[in-house]
Amino acid sequence: MKVDVYQNLHMDCLSVRSREPYERYGRVIAHVDEIVLRDVDFVVQPAGRERVRDEGRKNVHAFARGNWFDEADRDDAFIEGEPTRFVVYNPYVYNHFVFSGTKRPIESADVCYIAPGAVEVPAAASPI
């Protein structure tokens, strides 16, 4: 199922929003503590980012979009021993999601593990 996933700051969890036309499109369908997505795009909506910067108030404008596999956890996401990298986003500092170490932008990844405060991708994921 195609979904958008974002950090829900009010509930301290992840919100999962449907991208399926016949499955409550655009509506939150679940709140989870962790999730694995495949074929992931990291999306930042520029108008929302600018509104955050102008108003100093957060809004949902950045998320990971991909295919959700129910029941998958971090151990299912990566090959055992495979190196991983963390991805971060801060609307006051970056225009895109970036690798936490190098600060190089990332647009997509084959697989992504997300938990509150942590977004992890295979180390082989390519920057923009």
Model confidence pLDDT, tens digit, residues 5-34:
999 988 989 999 999 988 789 899 999 999
pLDDT of residue 23: 78
Distance of CA 30 to the CA centre of its chain: 15
C-beta of residue 18 within 8 angstroms of C-beta of residue 25: yes
Residue corresponding to tokens 């992504």: 112
Instruction: Summarize pLDDT for 64-116 with one digit per residue, the tens.
Output: 999 998 767 777 777 778 899 999 999 999 999 999 999 999 999 999 999 98
Q: Which residues pair with 121 in a beta bridge?
A: 85
pLDDT at 36 over 80: yes
What pLDDT does 74 receive? 75
Determine the pLDDT at residue 126.
75
Give pLDDT, residue 4.
97
